[in-house]
Amino acid sequence: MDILNFILEPLQYAFMFKAVVVSTVVGVACAILSCFLVLKGWSLLGDAISHAVLPGVVLAYMLGIPFGLGAFVFAMLAVILIGYIKNNTKIKEDAVMGIVFTTLFALGLMLISKIISSVDLTHVLFGEVLGISDNDAWYTFIILALVSVVVLMFRRTFLLFCFDPTHAQSLGLPVRFIHYAFLALLAVTITGSIQTVGIILVIAMLITPGSTAFLLTKRFSSMLQIAIGISILSSLIGAYSSYYFNIATGGTIVFVQGCIFLTVFTYQTIATNHKNRRQLKLG
């Protein structure tokens, strides 16, 4: 099989075309936000929100409404609870996140054990992009494309907020609004990614691309480009692997991202050790 046939054959099927497009859009949106989360040190927040949406998904299933709507409501509930508890107690933010997301995640598991089969739980937790409906595919594509555009348009504002919120406030920027706007965009991205990679794996997609790019460059513009490139490559490999090898799309996407991170980390470690040895010899 030549390369052209290898690329084009899966795209002849509508479900594979949807999987490739949706996976790529999800990858790009997660990669962009990943850079900000890594710089801000908010990786645990992405973890917290992604777990907290589970009861919203279950309740949406019960009410017969879109999963994304229920997930978004509980994502914002988690954000508000974390902010309120943090501002009104002396408990550190990471502890507050842990309390909120484990409580809401546990509520979701309780609801699932009562009304939904384990098969549905698997799809919610790990995604099923190959079985995504046309409506869900359009919802994911439009919502996450809009998130990507908004974040890129206001990237300088978000970057200043991540690096120095005090300076941002001194410039007259509405820091509290920016804070919650960013969290809302994060919540939308997580809820839009559920059908593709699920609640569990979206955590990795919100951490790994930005972390890998951070190892390779200290310029934010380059960091964004590298993270997006890694996510697109991983999404394509995941979608094509699911077709040719009959393996899980979401799991493959995250596994490839992890392998790229470990490769970059290993290369940098070897290069740093080699440089240190050379400096010792010259000294």
Kindly tell me if the per-residue pLDDT of 118 is higher than 70: no
Which residues form the domain of 37?
A: 3-282
Q: What proportion of the chain, given as a percentage, has pLDDT over 90?
A: 28
Per the model's pLDDT, the better-predicted residue between 148 and 43 turns out to be: 148
Q: Which candidate, 112, 110, 61, 54, places its Cα nearest to that of 78? A: 54
Dihedral sign (CA 244, 245, 247, 251): negative
As a whole-number percent, the residues of the chain with pLDDT over 70 amount to 94
Could you tell me the end-to-end alpha-carbon distance of the chain, in angstroms, rounded to an integer?
55
Confidence at residue 208, expressed as pLDDT on a 0 to 100 scale: 94
Domains contained in the chain, number: 1
30 close to 209: Cβ distance less than 8 angstroms: yes
Is the model's pLDDT at 121 over the cut of 70? no
Regarding pTM above 0.95, the answer is no
169-180: string of b/e by CB count within 10 Å (b at 16+)? eeeeeebeebee
- Per-residue pLDDT tens digits for 240-261: 998 899 888 888 899 999 999 9
Residues 6+ apart with CB under 8 A from 212: 226, 227, 230, 257, 260, 261, 264
Residue given tokens 């902010």 in the structure block: 83
Question: Residue 201 in contact with residue 250, Cβ under 8 Å?
Answer: yes
Q: For residue range 3-12, what is the model confidence (pLDDT) as tens digits?
A: 888 888 888 8
Query: What is the CATH number for 47?
Result: 1.10.3470.10
